[in-house]
Amino acid sequence: MMDGLIAGHLVGLAESRQGKNGSSFVLAKVKATAGDGESLIVNVITFSAEASAALMALDDGDTLAVAGALTPKVWTDKQGNTRPALDLVATQVLTAYHAARKQQGMAEAGGDLSP
């Protein structure tokens, strides 16, 4: 397992679920583009209330970045080809809304936003 930051688009809607012990978590899928131009689906789970709320507020296709513990995996498709996959336990979620809100807060506090 390693720390990772994945940027991409939400595939479908995030799903809120309850564990057997009553704890809640959220599942989501993020489509990210790899360096070679191919897309990769990242399976995301989060137990963080803040990250869960951010994922649940998004619609299919919305842009986001997720950070957390990343585990690379391999799966085999119906044709027998091996494909890469990633599982990520998200601790942070960043969306365009979060970035705009942070920039607004910095501007209100007198922070310099110039490049």
Domain ranges of the chain: 2-108
The CATH number of the domain covering residues in 2-108: 2.40.50.140
What CA–CA distance (Å, rounded) separates 112 from 115? 9
Check the CA dihedral 52-54-59-60 and report its sign. Answer: negative
Report the pLDDT value the prediction gives residue 104, as an integer from 0 to 100: 62
* Contact in structure between 4 and 88 (CB atoms under 8 Å): yes
DSSP H helices, 30-86, are 49-56
The DSSP output letter for 22 is S
Predicted confidence pLDDT, tens digits, the chain (115 residues): 799 999 999 999 999 999 999 999 999 999 999 888 888 899 999 999 999 999 999 999 999 999 999 999 998 989 999 888 899 999 999 987 765 555 566 566 665 555 5
Report the pLDDT value the prediction gives residue 75, as an integer from 0 to 100: 85
Report the pLDDT value the prediction gives residue 20, as an integer from 0 to 100: 92
